[in-house]
């Protein structure tokens, strides 16, 4: 996927720039970062390791973090919404056929989005919930011995081991599944304060996946909080 990232960079950077400074130009330019993100969606290449997702976030840093030289976000509502909708769609590119690696990728995304401020979170947390639900189905399939993806799963991608953060990749087990849903509950708690109706629908979706994973008590908890 490294070649895919470079292909997106070449499409986003100004053609006259030397190749040696293109990466820097994209990282520092909000317009370049948005163009890079759109190219990533256009080419649809999977971001399949923690190393790649961290590098990916560096390329789109102006979209996920407020920079001192950016205009106030309240002055660019339409532009801001468009940018964050693009960022939200990028979550679908984060993938790995290895549940442990996918868990670490989403942990990196969760930390990055958490540093972006509340206005960004209302866009980025929803696709992150669905990604965690895909991961929950895959993890349950592994620990139950079926090795098939569940109802919430998406397309697999070749996995590539990368650097791990505090959420180290490891063989999936029941504790891993519990932690996935713990993160989902935390995300929904944040969304409930900002988008109550959306949080309600997501609680019901999560209840279905928890029930499919034979976690009846957790499914009831999602229903009770909806």
d(Cα 126, Cα 122) in Å, to the nearest integer?
Answer: 7
Provide the whole-model pTM: 0.78
d(Cα 149, Cα 138) in Å, to the nearest integer?
Answer: 5
Cβ atoms of 90 and 145 within 8 Å: the answer is: no
pLDDT digits (tens, 9 = 90+) for 150-168: 444 443 343 444 444 445 5
Give the torsion sign (CA, 147, 186, 62, 119): positive
d(Cα 72, Cα 66) in Å, to the nearest integer?
Answer: 9
Cβ atoms of 126 and 198 within 8 Å: the answer is: yes
> 67 pLDDT band (50/70/90 cuts)?
low
Instruction: Give residues with Cβ within 8 angstroms of 157, minimum separation 6.
Output: 46, 48, 95, 96, 97
Lowest mean pLDDT among 24-28, 120-124, 144-148, 215-219: 24-28
């Amino acid at each position: 996927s490294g070649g895919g990232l470079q292909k997106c960079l070449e499409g986003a950077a100004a053609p006259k720039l030397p190749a040696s400074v293109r990466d820097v130009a994209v990282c520092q330019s909000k317009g370049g970062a948005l163009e890079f993100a759109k190219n990533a969606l256009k080419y649809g290449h999977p971001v399949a390791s923690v190393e790649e997702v961290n590098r990916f976030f560096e390329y789109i840093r102006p979209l996920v973090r407020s920079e001192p030289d950016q205009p106030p976000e309240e002055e660019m509502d339409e532009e801001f919404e468009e940018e964050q909708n693009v960022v939200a769609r990028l979550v679908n590119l984060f993938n790995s056929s290895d549940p442990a690696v996918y868990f670490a990728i989403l942990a990196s995304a969760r930390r990055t989005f958490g540093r972006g401020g509340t206005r960004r979170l209302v866009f980025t947390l929803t696709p992150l919930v669905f990604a965690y639900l895909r991961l929950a189905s895959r993890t349950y399939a592994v620990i139950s011995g079926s090795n098939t993806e569940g109802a919430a799963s998406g397309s697999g991608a070749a996995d590539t081991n990368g650097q791990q953060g505090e959420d180290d990749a490891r063989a999936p087990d029941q504790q891993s599944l519990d932690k996935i849903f713990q993160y989902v509950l935390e995300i929904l708690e944040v969304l409930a304060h900002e988008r109550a109706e959306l949080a309600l629908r997501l609680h019901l979706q999560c209840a279905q996946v928890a029930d499919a994973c034979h976690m009846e008590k957790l499914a009831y908890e999602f229903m009770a909080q909806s």
